[in-house]
A and B are shown apart, each in its own frame.
Chain A
Amino acid sequence: MSDAPIVQMTGITKDFTGVRALDGVDFTLRRGEIHAVMGENGAGKSTLIKVLTGVHDPDAGRILLDGEPVRFHSPGQAQAGGISTVYQEVNLTDNLSVAENLLAGREPRLGPFINFRAMRRKAKALLDEIGIDLNVAAPLSSYSIAMQQLVAIARAIDIDAKVLILDEPTSSLDRDEVAVLMRVMRSLAERGTAMVFISHFLDQVYEICDRMTVLRNGTLIGEWAVSELPESELIGHMLGREVQTLGALEHRAARHRPDDDVLVSARGLGRKGSVSPFDLDIRPGEVVGLAGLLGSGRTETARLIAGADRADSGALEFRGERLRGHNPRTASARGIGFCPENRKTEGLVGDLTVAENMILAMQAARGWARTVPPARRDALVAEFIEKLDIRPADPDLPVKNLSGGNQQKVLLARWMLIEPRLLILDEPTRGIDVGAKADIQRLVNELSEDGMAVLFISAELEEVTRLSDRIAVLRDRELIDILHQESDMTTDRIVETIVEKGGDK
């Protein structure tokens, strides 16, 4: 590993419609190193990366690539310059085949025509190199998101990249797939490729990275070698405050009064091909966690209860009344709020402002004829922006300009405004940073103390155990057990349950 910098960014500043996303940030990347860019959501990591890859033009600052000043105006230019990127969301076109996605734009050709056979061969070889075996002629859409992500990485590697940027590539991968990715990253580093790695999984950062740069609120905090910066200090730098929030949220006391008053009761509720019939009761003031692996039916269970999908068997009772024709509209009228997993496509309207997004559900509940009075609206919005610590605290900003964590908070505020009886949160903390995560966990706690029932889904078992009163464990689209004893609220116990009950069959 030489110390020669391959990328040097100095004094990078970028404004978005009045918000300063980056303020004079410096960043240095050396040959053959894996460099983590750390920070909360909204710290400016994504913006820094997008400036480097030509998606955004910086308002000020210089970029040196191999000592030469450069300025890219499109990702295509950056790729040509040797900088390629893998994004958190899979940015491929799933209507084309795997091979086409891998090689789009640089297909092997015979004269002006694409040589499909050579293309498939080349694609196969490329995937072999990183240890993946796929049918490259199949449409990309026939593979799982995780596999699509690995295809995206294979594509980025093939562009003979001097610099490879991995922006949260692991958020949709399982452990084996992460291992494959890390192996690929190491072998690339040995070849001298410099990599920028962005991830919210601190353990992954510590496992693979050589160096890290920490950002906070658009400014540079510092650069450290990974071995010199213990995790607790890193979190301190990222949050800029003493780390008590997470600590204070040790497992909540088993303060639960045995409440016979059942809010929602599912009996044999199921839907073919999505989740087998299950029984589940949710009581007021209770947090019920749904735990299971990716694809175990967590989201599907929540969607049935929320009325987003129609059940084809069983019954759902709400406060003792059997629900018929259950749909998101009637659910919302009864006080069931649902924050879906995919906040961009299913929850928020990106072009509307923070205030407008917050008020949506409340307005829907009142009907179109009775608008929320402006003064009341402003007061409510201001209250929730403060309560949830939404940053920047500007109600008139389009929601799409906010970072992921803050978008999530806006979505939460929307449902809190109508004071639902049951709030369903599907992966509310996915892809957001430690600070926002702690805020959201604290909020879930507070809400349930006020008597709201919460159905909480998260891929992070630790989070589920920390928050939940009871945990429903799912496996292979089946609810296999409900853990309710205090002693059962551990990640080990959940994993055991998944393994044991799976073995029964």
Chain B
Amino acid sequence: MSTTVTERPSRTTLFDGLGRYIPIGVTVALLIVMYLGGIAAFPRFSSPQVIASLFIDNAALLIIAVGMTFVILSGGIDLSVGSMMAFSTMSIAALTVDLGVPAEVAVAAVLAFGTLSGLFTGAVIHYFNVQPFIATLAGLFLYRGLTLQLSDHDVSMRDIAFFDWGMLRMDFAGGQRDGGFSLPNISFIALAVVIVAFIVLHYTRFGRGVYAVGGSESSALLMGLPVARTKVGVYAVSGFCAALGGVVAAYYTKSANPLAGVGLELDAIAAVVIGGTILTGGTGFVLGTVAGVMVMGLLTTLIAFQGDLSSWWARIVVGVLLLAFILLQRFLSRSGEKRRT
């Protein structure tokens, strides 16, 4: 070859490359500021259990938000997850308490149902070219209605020994008494989900396909990537995560509340966005979602420590944060465009 065309990436590539990490960097910085602020204001805040508690109280949210990250990265949205979670918990209660089905079987059935339901929603979205917003909105109503149909009041699962396992704690650094912390099994489930999701998104063809479809669906199609499988797949992942969230909720409260998780889909979306994933798809990280969930959990914790403020302040702050993050993303993507032209 006589001539070689060499092109350096445009001068700002370094910045471009880092640009992807700015939103998540801001989230992490925010977390640190909140944490240090909490320690400065409240003496007991420095206990490691404060952080550990985030992964206990928000275990279900974290799992669901991870599923949501897949969907949003692919350029879609899933509004049915809150209802799906409540339906899963209620189904487990109905199956085990009312019908006497072994708990293991009930859990497996619920997880399978969540996945299949996601597959079905994904297929509707892809093959009939339906807006994800509408298709999953149908799920939001459908599963909430079914949940209330099963029972319109709380169902306790206290008598079923199987559900004791979830809150069994493991001590670290001597446990809470000795200045360490402890985590129950549900937190490990949530963390396992995060790790698996991270590996799938970054190191498998399916995961990279999710990014490609989110970047440009028509390009991905012309590149010969399995767009259909990817798009249907992300909703299956989200459905599975929502059902697993329901299982974790069953472990956490040992009861099924028909109105559990109302609006949870919006919390999950908020966590994903605060975690730096862009709503139009293609850019973001699952670890950002973890940070997003931690920010939201830490806000609630701070307000609980303060004691005087109404808990709704957490919502107000989340609203402000969301706005700030969306503007930040907009600003970053626009300055990116400008530099390129």
**CB within 8 Å of B: which residues of A?**
55, 74-76, 78-80, 84-85, 87, 90-96, 100-101, 104-105, 107, 109, 112-114, 116, 130-135, 138-139, 141-144, 147, 150, 155, 159, 176-177, 179-180, 183, 273-274
* B4 within 8 Å of A (CB atoms): yes
Contacts of B283 in A (CB 8 A): 95
* B308 within 8 Å of A (CB atoms): no
Complex Cα gap A176–B1 (Å): 14
Contacts of B340 in A (CB 8 A): 141-142
B residues 92-150 near A (Cβ < 8 Å) are none
A142 touches B203 (CB 8 A): no
B215 touches A93 (CB 8 A): yes
A75 touches B224 (CB 8 A): yes
The 6 A-B residue pairs with the shortest CB-CB distance in the complex, in nearest-first order: A93-B215, A142-B9, A76-B224, A95-B215, A133-B6, A95-B282
Q: Quote the shortest CB–CB distance from A167 to chain B (angstroms).
A: 11
Known A-B contacts A93-B216, A104-B225; the reply to A142 vs B5 at CB < 8 A is: no
Contacts of B320 in A (CB 8 A): none
A85 touches B222 (CB 8 A): yes
Contacts of A132 in B (CB 8 A): 4-7
B219 touches A93 (CB 8 A): yes
Complex Cα gap A138–B11 (Å): 12
Checking B5, B199, B218, B221 against A131 with a beta-carbon cut-off of 8 angstroms, the contacting residue is B5
Checking A90, A92, A100, A180 against B5 with a beta-carbon cut-off of 8 angstroms, the contacting residue is A180
Contacts of A144 in B (CB 8 A): 7, 10
Known A-B contacts A95-B215, A96-B215; the reply to A114 vs B208 at CB < 8 A is: yes
A180 touches B9 (CB 8 A): no
Complex Cα gap A134–B17 (Å): 15
A-B CB contact pairs (8 Å), 5 listed = A85-B222, A133-B4, A139-B20, A273-B338, A274-B341
B222 touches A75 (CB 8 A): yes
* Residue of B199, B216, B226 contacting most chain A CB atoms (<10 Å): B216
Contacts of B218 in A (CB 8 A): 91
Contacts of B211 in A (CB 8 A): 93, 95-96
Complex Cα gap A264–B17 (Å): 42
B residues 1-28 near A (Cβ < 8 Å) are 1-10, 12-13, 16-17, 20
Contacts of B5 in A (CB 8 A): 131-133, 147, 150, 176-177, 180
* B223 within 8 Å of A (CB atoms): yes
Known A-B contacts A95-B214, A113-B204; the reply to A155 vs B7 at CB < 8 A is: no
B212 touches A104 (CB 8 A): yes
Contacts of B2 in A (CB 8 A): 131
Complex Cα gap A84–B226 (Å): 15
Q: Quote the shortest CB–CB distance from B267 to chain A (angstroms).
A: 26
Complex Cα gap A462–B216 (Å): 36
* B220 within 8 Å of A (CB atoms): yes
* B169 within 8 Å of A (CB atoms): no
Q: Quote the shortest CB–CB distance from A118 to chain B (angstroms).
A: 13
Known A-B contacts A75-B224, A112-B204; the reply to A93 vs B4 at CB < 8 A is: no
* B205 within 8 Å of A (CB atoms): yes
